[in-house]
């Protein structure tokens, strides 16, 4: 999941967008405007095979710290 927020001139959150990724390749984008309240959702699909890897053995985090993953 990733979140992006936009702020108004007073520094308060005015819009929030969440990107929810699933291992199946499904992507849900949820955009919420706060004042006035408005909620929009969109669905898409992505190819997940290069974005996921097996959970490493405890303490073996060498794949996680690679510069070019």
- Tell me what the mean pLDDT of segment 46-57 comes to: 81
Total number of domains constituting the chain: 1
- Tell me what the mean pLDDT of segment 48-62 comes to: 82
What confidence category does residue 48 fall into, taking pLDDT thresholds of 50, 70 and 90? confident
What does R_g of the chain's alpha carbons equal in angstroms? 17
**pLDDT for the residue numbered 69:** 63
Domain holding 10, by residue range, is 1-69
C-beta of residue 23 within 8 angstroms of C-beta of residue 6: no
Residue 49 DSSP class? T
Q: How far is CA 60 from the centre of its chain?
A: 25
- Tell me what the mean pLDDT of segment 12-16 comes to: 97
C-beta of residue 29 within 8 angstroms of C-beta of residue 17: yes
């Amino acid at each position: 999941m990733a979140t992006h927020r936009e702020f108004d001139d007073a520094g308060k959150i005015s819009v929030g967008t969440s990107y929810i990724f699933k291992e199946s390749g499904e992507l849900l984008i949820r955009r919420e405007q706060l004042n006035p309240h408005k909620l929009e959702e969109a669905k898409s699909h992505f190819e997940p095979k290069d974005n996921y890897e097996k959970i490493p053995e405890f303490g073996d985090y060498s794949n996680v710290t690679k510069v070019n993953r």
